[in-house]
Structure 1
Amino acid sequence: MNNGSAPLFVPETPCIIIHEAIMERNIEAMAETAQRNQVQLRPHAKTHKMPHVAKRQLGAGASGITVAKVSEAEVMAQHGISNIFIAYPLVTPSKIERAIALSRQIDLILAVDSDEGASRLSQLAGQHGHTLKVRLEIDTGLRRTGVPYDDALALASRIHAMEHLRLTGIYTFRGALMNKKPTLDLEAAGVEEGRIMVELADRMRALGIPIADVSVGSTPTGAYAATVKGVTEIRPGTYVFQDRMQAKFGVCGLEDCAGSVLVTVVSRPAADLAVVDGGSKTFATDVQPNTEPLLLQGFGHVVGLEDAVLERLSEEHGMMRLGPEAQAANLKVGDRLYIIPNHICSTINLHNQVLFLRGEAFEPVPVLGRGKLE
């Protein structure tokens, strides 16, 4: 409670609020999962993009972090993070040069998924008299980056022979997918992901390729993939804050969502319509409503108003359709609402800072990795 000595800080909206105690609970739970299954935890920092949070994860037992961009790795390294995996193929000379420079300062692992990409890494590393640690990305069904599974042995052999690369492991990202389709059977998806990657690693070792790392697992599947003997590492990201998507998957409850967007009602044009000051520049739209397998309604969960649906977004406006219960709440212009976004990772990247809530006190923390596109 406020002791009356000073007024409580009231944040401007829209803004992201992170409930620190819930975040800490999420961090500890995933660290315990990794420890129980005797695998390394290397969280993907794409969710928070903040060294402040990465250090909390490392302090709880994470072995390092994962990022997607050289620029993100540079930000993290500048703030004392010394073990980083860039889980994204680097193919342009400028980015490779930056990665080489960074790898002289910290323990850095790079990603490859093609002959051409690996050759570029090896050639530039050789020009600097340097050897780069790399992992080979495997496509296990998502059809994104990653060498096709059936071509992985041959490519691994060629990379292993490259003088200035040291192939330390393989990794994949598949998420909640089975048979190339989204699934709600997270256990089956995670176990299968782990199994096929372990089998591939064993086949590579039989060819004399010393694969040490078998890295798998997203927030939905990580706990299950970790149970597969031979998996050495999981790389969940969203778990640190959780979001509506993970709650619908059953990974967590809405009460485990540390991140939410605080908005203000700015207009009440009709009994069944409220407009808030958060639109597509506030809420991520990459997880669209009414899509398989989750069939989420709207762009976020409106806390305390179960039949309110944030169903439309323009750039600065969020249009909420109000059901009977929400109408009975008699929302007024100026009222504030918390909305748990469908996807917290992309939502964080829209904001320059977040506010960490400790009791009744807010601490602004800059999202230092935001907008790092290169």
Structure 2
Amino acid sequence: MESLEPTKTLEALGKLDGLEALETPSLLIDADRMDRNIEAMADMARIHQVNLRPHAKTHKIPAIALKQIEAGAVGITVAKIAEAEVMAAHGIRNIFVAYPLVTASKIERAIRLSEQIELIVGVDSLAGAQQLEHIASRHGHSLQVRLEIDTGLRRTGVLYEQAAALAAEISAMPHLRLTGIYTFRGSLLAGKPTLDVAAAGKEEGALMAQLAERLRTQGIAITDVSVGSTPTATYAAAVEGVTEVRPGTYVFHDRMQARLGVCSLEDCAGSVLVTVVSRPSADLAIVDGGSKTFATDVQPGTEPLQLKGFGHILGLTDATLARLTEEHGMIELGPLAQAANLQIGDKLRIIPNHICSTVNLHNHVVMQRDQTYTRTPVLARGMLE
């Protein structure tokens, strides 16, 4: 990793005198805040006596995954087999691919990887399970699997009321070891988006714990009940019968989590450093970060968050990152922000709405500890297959 020259501290209005060694746009990570976030979630899991298996899709950096494991995580979660391969190549020995693997090529790769590390894969359909069984049988190999349950998000996952029948069929397959069930629900309550993450987490945990108990009465040995995103993990972990939580965003946090009340903006470790490249009018500043820099999947003005703009601009209370094109970010300036008299060449820091998708847009992050800046490659960036 390349060490950069120390720089001056931030000015009051979010302008930066220093950081001249960094080109913009650049994704900065406050390492001390990140460390505190890692420790806080690990402490929560210990208090509730559940396993912590962070989702590495947020950071995509093996060195950070190793920090999470050192703090107490049992392993990590990924979405793609390519991410698992990168993580395993850098020393991660326990990985859950929380995504249905249905193509022969991906299943072959999973089998090869499971011969080297402890690997768990997701399944949510009979067709998918049959494909896993067929290829595992051909290799004379046993794959550990978890059944994904749809608890209301209407994404992947077998419908809740059909889960028992599917679990029975999977458990009868000789080359699949069904050890658990899992879900991703986010901040949903009674099927609708909510800001009441406590109630959402408790409902999520209860639904899954009840299902696990029902499966056990059918003779299916479910040992792992895996739930919980960053907003709901603390509350789902408190439900009796839940054994594991899989938060991801907490490692950096973002504006979305702050709006949900999970953290404060001061807890957000990630921000994007941008430069003002144009001042067309008093109420408008253009920066060099657009949709290729900031994630746009969490749109402004949508329920339940009702965020204004695509990020929180540090130090400029009435400025809004209102519009993005590929290479341009349009910041609308209110009276207070206009008084700051931004100049072309000034630098600003912006906390993105969604840090996970933002990280995947960058080849590297810049880790900041005190006044030392270090480039760290995002090794699993773009590992989508």
TM-score by structure 1 length? Answer: 0.98
SS in 2 for 1:298: coil
C-alpha separation between the residues in 1 aligned to 2:155 and 2:218? 27
Q: Deviations over 1:50-87 (max 9, x none)?
A: 00110110010000000000000000000000000000
Q: Which residue of 1 aligns with 2:351?
A: 340
Q: Tell me which of 352, 355, 369 is aligned to 2:363.
A: 352
* Alignment match, 1:14: 25
Counterpart position of 1:150: 161
Please give the per-residue CA displacement for 1:127-177, whole angstroms capped at 9, x wherever unaligned.
000000000000000000000000000000000000100000000000000
Q: Secondary structure at the match of 2:200?
A: helix
CA distance in 2, matches of 1:163, 1:119: 11
Determine the structure 1 residue equivalent to 2:206: 195
Query: In 2, Cα distance between the equivalents of 1:194 and 1:246?
Result: 20
Structure 1 spans left out of the alignment, 5+ residues? none
Alignment partners' CA distance in 2, 1:124 and 1:306? 57
Helix, strand or coil for the counterpart of 2:60?
coil
Paired AA for residue 271 in structure 1: A
The question of whether the paired residues in 1 share the 8 Å contact of 2:229 and 2:245 is answered with yes
Q: How does 1:203-282 map to 2 (within 5 A)?
A: 203-282=214-293
- Distance in structure 1 (CA, Å) of the matches to 2:241 and 2:69: 23
Partner SS, residue 135 of structure 1: strand
Deviations 1:86-118 (A, max 9, x none): 000000000000000000000000000000000
Query: Matched residue of 1:202: which SS?
Result: helix
SS in 2 for 1:301: strand
Alignment check: 8 A CA contact 1:353 1:367 kept: yes
Task: Kindly indicate whether the alpha-carbon contact (under 8 Å) linking 1:279 and 1:318 is maintained by their aligned counterparts in 2.
Answer: yes
Residue equivalent to 2:135: 124
* Contact 2:6-2:373 within 8 A present in 1 as well: no
Residue-by-residue CA offset, 1:332-362 (whole Å, 9 max, x unaligned): 0000000000000000000000000011111
Tell me the equivalent position of 1:367.
378
CA separation of 1:14 and 1:65: change in aligned 2, threshold 3 A: same
The 1:3/1:67 distance shift into structure 2, 3 A limit, reads closer
> How much does 1:3 deviate?
11
Letter in 1 for 2:52: L
Shift of 1:10: 2.0
Shift of 1:192: 0.5
Q: Give the C-alpha shift of residue 9 in structure 1.
A: 6.1
C-alpha contact (below 8 Å) 1:241/1:259 kept by paired residues = yes
Question: Which of residues 109, 133, 146 is equivalent to 2:120?
Answer: 109
The one-letter code matched in structure 2 to 1:127 is R
1:307 aligns with 2:318: yes
- Tell me the equivalent position of 1:95: 106
**What stretches of structure 2 of length at least 5 have no aligned partner?**
9-17
Where does residue 139 of structure 1 map in the other structure? 150
1:174 aligned residue (185, 188, 191): 185
Structure 1 pair 3–62 and aligned structure 2 pair: CA distance change class (3 A): closer
User: What SS does the aligned partner of 2:105 have?
Assistant: helix
Q: Secondary structure at the match of 2:55?
A: coil
The answer as to whether partners of 1:9 and 1:361 remain within 8 angstroms in 2 is: no
Confirm or deny: 8 A CA contact 1:353 1:365 kept in the other structure.
yes
- The equivalent of 1:331 in structure 2 is 342
Matching residue of 1:86: 97
Structure 1 residue aligned with 2:332: 321
For residues 188-225 of structure 1, the C-alpha deviation after alignment (integer angstroms, 9 at most, x for no partner) is: 00000000100000000001000000000000000000
SS of 2:146's equivalent in the other structure is strand
Q: Which residue of 1 aligns with 2:71?
A: 60
Task: Tell me how far apart the structure 2 counterparts of residues 205 and 312 of structure 1 sit (CA, whole Å).
Answer: 52
Task: Identify if the C-alpha distance between structure 1 residues 184 and 351 changes in structure 2 by more than 3 Å, giving closer, same or farther.
Answer: same
Q: Is the 8 A contact 1:8 1:360 kept in 2?
A: no
Between 1:70-79 and 1:7-16, the stretch displaced more is: 7-16
Contact 2:6 2:372 in 1 (8 A): no
**What secondary structure does 2:73 align onto?**
coil
> Residue 7 of structure 2 contacts residue 19 of structure 2 at CA under 8 Å; is this kept in 1?
no
AA in 1 matched with 2:126: D
Using a 3 Å threshold, how does the CA distance of structure 1 residues 130 and 245 change in structure 2: closer, same or farther?
Answer: same
Q: Identify the residue that residue 12 of structure 2 maps to in structure 1.
A: none
- How far off its partner does 1:178 sit? 1.2
Q: Which amino acid aligns with 2:370?
A: G
Q: Once superposed, what is the RMSD of the aligned Cα atoms?
A: 1.3
SS where residue 304 of structure 1 aligns?
coil
Partners in 2 of 1:8 and 1:172 — Cα distance?
A: 42
Partners of 2:179 and 2:375 lie apart in 1 by: 39
Give the share of equivalent positions with the same residue, in percent: 68
